[in-house]
């Protein structure tokens, strides 16, 4: 740099939200010499990556999985997990599936039907993307993934009983998308394809991954916690002065050259009127069209893992599924299916006698709404009564044994989280007609207003709804801003 030239003050970028997308966006900008201020409404960084110690050890309330079909070269969460020596778990194939009457299905039958089911889902991904990334134009927007599986069941299974069983088993896909499979768009099933690759589970928790992502921003950005942005004023064009004004709930004013909005889609749905002037039609359509899921977790920990094979823990069940139960008329009259993952399958020191139930859709909403005002004792009692009909069918259970009595129960409550829009993450519901264009609208942002978006709803197509997708979307927004200034005369100071 010519020291006789006046030093150019680096552009000042504001980022709303310190989740993984906002943090990675900040990292990209800081590397290129930009000034960065992050305004975060919570009292911590991480957003949906967060933990609880209420079981006596640390568990993730947000993401547990890394969908890593493309390997660490492509998937940033897998790369960072490897770099931080975060222990990852590959589940064995041992599963236990109960029919609607609560009886275990023969292992040979359940394995064969599971293979057929996943083959059909993979076929649906391919069929929906037959015309390329834009999706198959011949698919009716009102057709669901469940509809496709029903058609394929007729082709692949001559037995009506097995077809019915396959359709009941297909409901487990709801735990991936956070809503029942009959609400999942077939036309845009290809945008859920990350669910069909290599599935890794974080044995410990995401804290080391988050620490690695957050470290540059914590060291070099100005991060203001407990700072809720309630108004975003961004006009088109204008002078060379700072373009975007943010007003916080506390009445503070901030001015930035560019602003990146990493607030969750659920928050945007509830607060799209926080933008002045209102957002352009493509962004408003994207906010309206892309769906939201309701995925919740319930951890139930026992004195010992009574369901495990004590002689061969590595051969113990990894997964159990209870199909549309008809034996829960009082606790679950709607017959919502249930599933668990066996956290006692892990290696030491992360092996715990804990069952992790994933609930989704209306079942999640029922549970959280039921317990939201309860005392801890009543919440424990309600949750145990709800899940007892299911875990009591696991091998080794006897109601009189102390080892079969839960010690602690922990339930996530994203439905009550206003900052997350009272939901979990994005999905693509039946009826959506241009999901790919909606995501691209977020990724393009509003550069004429110096306004950008990132988050799992603005991710690359094959990573929408994932932590990796959120990270990559933040990287994309950061690089777009860097490119803007590299292509102008007013880049960051050297």
Closest Cα to residue 168, out of 119, 232, 110? 110
pLDDT of residue 345: 93
Q: What residue spans in the chain does CATH classification 3.50.50.60 cover? A: 12-49+205-290+432-486
Alpha helices in 348-466 (DSSP H): 361-371, 376-391, 435-444
pLDDT of residue 62: 96
Would you state the structure tokens that stand for residue 246, as one six-digit string?
């943010």
> Helices 107-128 and 145-156: crossing angle, nearest 10°?
120
pLDDT of residue 488: 74
pLDDT of residue 203: 96
pTM for this model (two decimals)? 0.94
Q: Are 234 and 244 in contact (CB under 8 A)?
A: yes
Q: Are 230 and 247 in contact (CB under 8 A)?
A: yes
Closest Cα to residue 167, out of 191, 145, 197, 187? 145
pLDDT of residue 316: 80
Helices (H) and strands (E) in the chain — how many of each? 13, 22
For residue 31, what is the enclosing H or E element? helix 20-31
Would you state the structure tokens that stand for residue 370, as one six-digit string?
């039921």
For residue 360, what is the enclosing H or E element? strand 354-360
pLDDT of residue 138: 86
The CATH class that applies to domain 12-49+205-290+432-486 reads: alpha beta
Rounded Cα–Cα distance for residues 296 and 478 (Å): 31
pLDDT in tens, the chain (494 residues): 333 344 468 999 999 999 999 999 999 999 999 999 999 999 999 999 999 999 999 999 999 999 865 655 678 999 999 999 999 999 888 899 999 999 999 999 999 999 999 999 999 999 998 755 555 788 999 999 999 999 999 999 999 999 999 999 999 999 999 999 999 999 999 998 776 567 899 999 999 999 999 999 999 999 999 999 999 999 776 445 568 999 999 999 999 999 999 999 999 999 999 999 999 999 999 999 999 999 999 999 999 999 997 656 666 889 999 999 999 999 999 999 999 999 999 999 999 999 999 999 999 999 999 999 999 999 999 999 999 999 999 999 999 999 999 999 999 999 999 999 999 999 999 999 999 999 999 999 999 999 999 999 999 998 999 999 999 999 999 999 999 999 875 555 43
173 by DSSP, 3-state: which?
A: helix
Q: What residue spans in the chain does CATH classification 3.90.660.10 cover? A: 88-202+293-419
pLDDT of residue 312: 61
CATH of 88-202+293-419, one of 3.90.660.10, 3.40.50.720, 3.40.50.10860, 1.10.10.60: 3.90.660.10
């Amino acid at each position: 740099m010519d020291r006789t030239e006046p030093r150019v003050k680096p552009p000042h970028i504001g980022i709303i939200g310190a989740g993984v997308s906002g943090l990675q966006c900040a990292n990209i900008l800081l590397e290129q010499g930009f000034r960065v201020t992050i305004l975060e409404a919570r009292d911590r960084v991480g957003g949906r990556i967060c933990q609880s110690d209420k079981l006596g050890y640390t568990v993730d309330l947000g993401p547990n999985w890394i969908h890593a079909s493309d390997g660490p070269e492509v998937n940033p969460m897998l790369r960072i997990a490897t770099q931080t020596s975060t222990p990852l778990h590959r589940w064995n194939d041992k599963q236990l599936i109960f029919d609607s009457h609560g009886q275990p299905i023969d292992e040979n039958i359940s394995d064969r039907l599971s293979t057929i089911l996943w083959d059909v889902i993979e076929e649906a991904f391919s069929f929906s993307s037959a015309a390329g990334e834009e999706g198959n134009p011949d698919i009716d927007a009102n057709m669901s993934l469940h509809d496709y599986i029903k058609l394929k069941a007729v082709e692949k299974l001559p037995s009506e009983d097995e077809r019915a069983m396959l359709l009941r088993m297909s409901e487990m896909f709801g735990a991936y998308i956070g809503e029942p499979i009959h609400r999942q768009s077939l036309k845009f099933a290809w945008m859920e394809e990350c669910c069909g690759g290599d599935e890794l589970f974080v044995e410990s928790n995401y804290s080391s991954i988050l620490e690695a992502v957050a470290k540059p921003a914590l060291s070099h950005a100005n991060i203001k916690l407990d700072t809720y942005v309630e108004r975003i004023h961004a006009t088109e064009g204008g002078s060379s002065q700072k373009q975007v004004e943010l007003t916080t709930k506390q009445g503070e004013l901030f001015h930035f050259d560019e602003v990146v909005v990493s607030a969750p889609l659920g928050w945007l749905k509830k607060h799209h009127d926080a933008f002045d002037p209102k957002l352009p039609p493509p962004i408003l359509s994207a906010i309206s069209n892309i769906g939201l899921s309701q995925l919740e977790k319930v951890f139930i920990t026992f004195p010992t893992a009574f369901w495990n094979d004590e002689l061969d823990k590595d051969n113990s069940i990894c997964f159990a599924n209870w199909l549309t139960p008809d034996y829960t008329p009082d606790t679950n009259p709607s017959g919502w299916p249930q599933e668990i993952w066996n956290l006692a399958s892990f290696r030491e020191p992360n092996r715990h006698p804990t069952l992790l139930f994933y609930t989704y859709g209306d079942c999640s909403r029922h549970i959280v709404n039921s317990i939201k005002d309860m005392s801890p004792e009543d919440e424990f009692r309600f949750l145990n009564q709800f899940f007892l009909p299911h875990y009591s069918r696991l091998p080794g259970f006897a109601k009189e044994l102390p080892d079969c009595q839960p010690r602690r129960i922990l339930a996530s409550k994203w439905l009550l989280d206003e900052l997350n829009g009272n939901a979990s993450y994005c999905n693509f519901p039946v009826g959506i007609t241009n999901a790919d264009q909606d995501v691209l609208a977020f990724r393009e942002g509003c550069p004429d207003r110096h306004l950008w978006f990132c988050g799992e709803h603005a991710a690359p197509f094959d990573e929408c709804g994932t932590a990796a997708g959120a990270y990559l979307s933040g990287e994309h927004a950061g690089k777009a801003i860097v490119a803007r200034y590299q292509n102008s005369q007013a880049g960051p100071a050297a």
